[in-house]
Amino acid sequence: MSSKSARVSARPVAFCLHALGASSVEFAHLRDALAGEIEVVAIDLPGFGDTAWVDGASVEETVEFVIRRIRAHGAARWMLVGHSMGGKIASIIAARTLSGRAPLFGLAGVVLLAASPVTPEPMAEDRRELMIGWASESHSASDGHLSDESAREFVDANIAEPLAETDMASAVSGVRRTDPLAWRAWLERGSREDWSSEVGNLAVPALIVSGAQDGDLGDPAQRRLNGATYLAAKFVTIEHAAHLLPIERPQEVAAAILTFWRDHAGTSPGVPPSTGRVIASERTSERTRGILSRRVLADDPGYQPLVLSSQQLATLRDIAERLVPQGDDAIDLAARVDQQLGRGGGDGWRNAALPADVDAYRLGLDALVGFGVDTPERQGEMIAQLIDGSFVAEGSTLNSKQLQFWFEDARVDLARQWMAHPATFSRVKYDGFGNGGDGVRKQGFTLLEAGRREAWEPSGGGTE
Amino acid sequence: MNLSGMRVFDHADEVDVIVVGSGAGGAPLTASLASAGLRVVVLEAGPNVEPGDHTPDETEAVDIIWMDERLSGGETPTAFGPNNSGRGVGGSTLHWGAFTPRPDARDMSFRRETGQGVDWPISPSELMPYVARVEQYLGVSGPSNYPWDPDRRYALPPVARNASSEMMMRGCEALGIRATDAPAAVISQDWQQEGFGLRQACVNCGACHQGCRNGAKVSMDTSYLPVALSRGAEIRADSTVHTIETDKSGAVTAVIYRRGGVDHRQRCAMLVLSAGGIETPRLLLHNALANSTGQVGRNFMAHGGVQVWGRFDQLMRSYRGYPSSIISEDMVRPPDAAFVGGYLMQSLGAMPLTFATTLIRGSSLWGPELTEALEQYPYMAGLGINAECLPSDSNRLTLSDEVDELGVPKAHIRFTAGENEKAIEAHAVTTMTNIVSAAGGSDILVLPRSAHTLGTCRLGETADVGVVDADGRSFDIPNLWICDTSVFPSSLTANPGLTMMALSLRTADAILSTTW
What's the CA gap between B43 and B241, in Å, rounded? 7
- Interface residue B174 vs chain A (CB under 8 A): no
Q: Among all residues of chain B, which has the CA nearest to that of A437?
A: B52
Are the C-beta atoms of residues B98 and B208 closer than 8 Å to each other? yes
What's the CA gap between B390 and B368, in Å, rounded? 40
Give the closest of B57, B68, B213 to A436, CB-based: B213
In the structure, what pLDDT confidence band is assigned to residue A6 with cuts at 50, 70 and 90? Answer: very low
In the structure, what pLDDT confidence band is assigned to residue A213 with cuts at 50, 70 and 90? Answer: very high
Query: Pick from B404, B498, B462: which is nearest to B184 by CA?
Result: B498
Q: Among all residues of chain B, which has the CA nearest to that of A381?
A: B366
pLDDT at A1 over 70: no
Torsion sign over Cα A371, A376, A380, A382: negative
pLDDT at A4 over 50: no
What's the CA gap between B75 and B416, in Å, rounded? 5
Beta bridge partners of A436: A284
Kindly report the backbone phi and psi dihedral angles of residue B388, in degrees, each rounded to the nearest multiple of 5, phi listed first: -55, 140
- Interface residue B125 vs chain A (CB under 8 A): no
Give the closest of A285, A325, A348 to B81, CB-based: A348
What's the CA gap between A415 and A320, in Å, rounded? 9
Give the closest of A419, A424, A428 to B378, CB-based: A428
Q: Among all residues of chain B, which has the CA nearest to that of A413?
A: B357
B contacts of A383 (beta carbons < 8 Å): 366-367
A contacts of B405 (beta carbons < 8 Å): none
Instruction: Spell out where A49-190 has E strands.
Output: 78-83, 107-113
Encode chain B (516 residues) as per-residue pLDDT tens digits: 999 999 999 999 999 999 999 999 999 999 999 999 999 999 999 999 999 999 999 999 999 999 999 999 999 999 998 888 999 999 999 999 999 999 999 999 999 999 999 999 999 999 999 999 999 999 999 999 999 999 999 999 999 999 999 999 999 999 999 999 999 999 999 999 998 999 999 999 999 999 999 999 999 999 999 999 999 999 999 999 999 999 999 999 999 999 999 999 999 999 999 999 999 999 999 999 999 999 999 999 999 999 999 999 999 999 999 999 999 999 999 999 999 999 999 999 989 999 999 999 999 999 999 999 999 999 999 999 999 999 999 999 999 999 999 999 999 999 999 999 999 999 999 999 999 999 999 999 999 999 999 999 999 999 999 999 999 999 999 999 999 999 999 999 999 999 999 999 999 999 999 865
Residues 6+ apart with CB under 8 A from A56: A46, A185
Beta bridge partners of A40: A14
Helices assigned H by DSSP within A324-399 = 333-342, 357-367, 376-388
Instruction: Spell out where A102-261 has E strands.
Output: 107-113, 206-211, 233-238
Kindly report the backbone phi and psi dihedral angles of residue B438, in degrees, each rounded to the nearest multiple of 5, phi listed first: -65, -25
The residue among A24 and A141 whose pLDDT is bigger is: A24
Cβ neighbourhood burial of B486 (10 Å; 0-12, 13-18, 19+): buried
Q: How distant, in Å, are the alpha carbons of B11, B168, B171, B381, B438 from that of B441?
A: 60, 10, 9, 8, 7
What's the CA gap between B6 and A345, in Å, rounded? 33
Cβ neighbourhood burial of B168 (10 Å; 0-12, 13-18, 19+): buried
Give the closest of B62, B319, B413 to A432, CB-based: B319
pLDDT at A2 over 80: no
Give the closest of A347, A433, A464 to B57, CB-based: A433
B contacts of A439 (beta carbons < 8 Å): none
What's the CA gap between A355 and B375, in Å, rounded? 33
Torsion sign over Cα A344, A346, A348, A352: negative
Helix (H, G, I), strand (E, B) or coil at B72: strand
Task: Give the pLDDT confidence score for residue B260 in this predicted structure.
Answer: 96
Contact B321 A450 (CB under 8 A): no
Contact B206 A432 (CB under 8 A): yes
pLDDT at A9 over 70: no
Contact A415 B374 (CB under 8 A): yes
Judging by DSSP bridges, how do beta strands B442-447 and A462-463 pair with one another?
A: unpaired
Helices assigned H by DSSP within B214-364 = 224-230, 276-286, 352-361
A contacts of B363 (beta carbons < 8 Å): none
Q: Among all residues of chain B, which has the CA nearest to that of A416?
A: B353
Q: How distant, in Å, are the alpha carbons of A107, A237, B59, B340, B370 from that of A103?
A: 12, 33, 22, 56, 35
Are the C-beta atoms of residues B510 and B459 closer than 8 Å to each other? no
Query: Pick from B83, B67, B170, B28: which is nearest to B410 by CA?
Result: B67
What's the CA gap between A19 and A85, in Å, rounded? 5
**Distance in Å, alpha carbon of A455 to nearest chain B alpha carbon:** 15
Task: Give the pLDDT confidence score for residue B515 in this predicted structure.
Answer: 65
**Distance in Å, alpha carbon of B95 to nearest chain A alpha carbon:** 15
Give the alpha-carbon dihedral of B51, B56, B62, B64, to 10 degrees.
Answer: 20
How many CA within 13 A on the CB side of residue A35?
6
Task: Give the pLDDT confidence score for residue A3 in this predicted structure.
Answer: 38
Give the closest of A288, A388, A418 to B56, CB-based: A288
The residue among A36 and B7 whose pLDDT is bigger is: B7
B contacts of A436 (beta carbons < 8 Å): 56, 203, 205, 213-214
Mean pLDDT of A126-136: 95
Give the closest of A353, A415, A435 to B205, CB-based: A435
> CA A245, A250, A255 angle in degrees (round to 5)?
110
Query: Pick from B317, B310, B448: which is nearest to B382 by CA?
Result: B310
Q: How many CB pairs under 8 A join A and B?
A: 193
What's the CA gap between B369 and B321, in Å, rounded? 29
B contacts of A287 (beta carbons < 8 Å): 53, 55, 60
**Distance in Å, alpha carbon of A426 to nearest chain B alpha carbon:** 10
Amino acid found at B209 = H
Contact A428 B80 (CB under 8 A): no
A contacts of B201 (beta carbons < 8 Å): none
**Distance in Å, alpha carbon of B434 to nearest chain A alpha carbon:** 20
Query: Pick from A308, A114, A432, A251: which is nearest to B204 by CA?
Result: A432
- By residue count, chain A amounts to 464
In the structure, what pLDDT confidence band is assigned to residue A7 with cuts at 50, 70 and 90? Answer: very low
What's the CA gap between B104 and B494, in Å, rounded? 7
Q: Is the pTM of this model over 0.90?
A: yes
Task: Give the pLDDT confidence score for residue A140 in this predicted structure.
Answer: 87
B contacts of A6 (beta carbons < 8 Å): none
Mutate to test the interface with B, among A319, A417, A429, A448 (most CBs of B within 10 A): A448
A contacts of B381 (beta carbons < 8 Å): 450
Helix (H, G, I), strand (E, B) or coil at A328: coil
Q: How distant, in Å, are the alpha carbons of B128, B227, B390, B499 from that of B134?
A: 10, 14, 27, 9
Q: DSSP states of B455-466 as a string?
A: -SS-B-SSTTT-
ipTM for this model = 0.96
A contacts of B370 (beta carbons < 8 Å): 323-324, 411, 415
